[in-house]
């Protein structure tokens, strides 16, 4: 009888854990088009347009920055040579930034 209760309890635990995992994964892509994935990249800014809006080059990767992109400059200025963290999503080769945070200035 103890073994039966232990097996049932383990089964319930696994079922609940799996449900939480699947629910969390579903929420990450809510509101995104098919084929878009959230991601974070780190690197050195190699180029950026004047006015900040447009295509940046971060470690050789093109990053699309729009008016909606949040740019945080607490640890330095967003400029060529700055080390940044970029949160956003990508679809194929296009990476669209939602937030850019300067981690270390030039």
pLDDT at site 40: 94
- Count Cβ neighbours within 10 Å for each residue of 34-67 and write b for 16 or more, e otherwise: eebeeeebebebeebeeeeeeebebeeeebebee
Instruction: Specify the higher pLDDT residue, 16 or 68.
Output: 68
CATH of 37-104, one of 2.40.10.220, 3.30.9.10, 2.60.120.260, 2.40.50.320: 2.40.50.320
pLDDT at site 9: 66
| pLDDT, tens digit, 9 for 90 and up, residues 18-73 | 554 333 333 344 445 556 688 999 999 999 999 999 999 999 999 999 999 999 99
**This model's pTM is above 0.85:** no
pLDDT at site 94: 80
pLDDT at site 17: 58
What are phi and psi for residue 8, nearest 5 degrees?
Answer: -65, -45
- Where do the domains of the chain lie? 1-30, 37-104
Q: Taking 60 as the threshold, does the pLDDT of residue 80 lie above it?
A: yes
- Give the chain's count of helices (H) and strands (E): 1, 6
């Amino acid at each position: 009888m103890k073994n039966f209760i232990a097996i049932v309890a383990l089964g319930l635990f696994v079922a609940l854990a799996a449900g939480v995992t699947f629910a969390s994964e579903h929420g990450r892509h809510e509101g995104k088009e098919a084929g878009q994935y959230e991601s974070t990249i780190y690197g050195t800014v190699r180029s950026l347009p004047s006015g900040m809006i447009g295509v940046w080059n971060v470690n050789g990767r093109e990053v699309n920055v729009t008016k909606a992109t949040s740019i945080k400059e607490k640890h330095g200025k967003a400029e060529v040579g700055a080390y940044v963290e970029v949160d956003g999503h990508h679809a194929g080769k296009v990476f669209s930034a939602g937030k850019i945070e300067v981690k270390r200035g030039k």
